[in-house]
Structure 1
Amino acid sequence: MAPTAVPPEADDDGALPADRDITPFDTWHPAVSRLERRLLKAVQEAARDAREDGVAFVVTSGWRSKEHQQRLLEEGIEKYGSLEKAREFVNTPEKSTHVSGEAVDIGPTDADDWLIRFGSAYGLCQAYANELWHFELLTSPGGTCPTPRNNAAG
């Protein structure tokens, strides 16, 4: 798929638009274009193969700026009542693999299920047991994924 022109609503902190789905092929958006090159290639290849099985990938989060990650952490503290509880779901900007471009969140649930079952063929693994949607390159293509960590806090 050819990338489209950058729409004016493309936010360069990695925040995704609420009114439109972003796919792994929407490289006009920083959340996708700023993913680590190998991760982006693996997600695009997996998305092509999943499409053959009738499964479509939506990027629900990708690369994020440090500022965007900090906002998400602050929202998590507000939602969960403490930094400790929020850290189970949201990492600090310094530790976030989203900020480094080494993580991507995929939806909907059928896409997560497909990636959990077949992602290791591309090196993609579910990183956290409490986040079915969060994938990182944690093995070589065709390798075995490690057991997901309990949560983002470790």
Structure 2
Amino acid sequence: MKKLAASKGVTLCLNDGKRSRAQQIGLLDTYVEEYGSVAAHDLVLPWQKSAHVKGYAVDVQPAGADRWLQATGGRSGFCRMYDNETWHFEYASAYRTSGCPARQPKPAG
């Protein structure tokens, strides 16, 4: 994907990928402290529900990269999942042929 993006003049960087259970718990705890429980749960799922912990989610940067990846429409296997997280994409080989599922407003924790 990085090479394809570069061939189109787009810099594609991985900001975050696979997380351990402990990392996800720590991230949620930090967000709860900083933003409160409601806001934190809009952005970070409990470890049991996290696609990052399960190993098929990535967060990309910079902003132009997320727009480019979204425009591939799943042909890469990566789809943007949530309206409130422009940077978050999840992988499934089925997306290559079926396209992306409907985006959700936010993660369902």
TM value normalised by structure 1: 0.65
Q: 2:30 is paired with a residue of what secondary structure?
A: helix
- The runs of 5 or more residues in structure 1 that have no matched partner are 1-45
Tell me what 2:54 maps to: 100
1:145 is paired with a residue whose SS is: coil
Larger Rg: 1
TM-fit CA distance, 1:87: 1.0
Q: CA deviation at 1:140?
A: 2.8
Task: Give 3-state SS (helix, strand or coil) of 1:150's partner.
Answer: coil
Give the partner amino acid of 1:104. V
Q: Which has the higher contact order (CA 8 A, sep 6+)?
A: 2
Task: Find the partner of 2:95 among 140, 148, 154.
Answer: 140
Shift of 1:119: 4.5
Moved over 6 A (4+): none
Question: Structure 2-normalised TM-score?
Answer: 0.90
Where 2:54 maps in the other structure, the secondary structure is coil
* Structure richer in helix, relative to its length: 2
Aligned mates of 1:143, 1:56 — CA distance in 2? 26
Determine the structure 2 residue equivalent to 1:116: 70
Give the counterpart letter for 1:112 in structure 2. Answer: D
Aligned twin of 2:39: 85
Percent same amino acid at aligned positions? 39
| Paired residue secondary structure (1:104) | strand
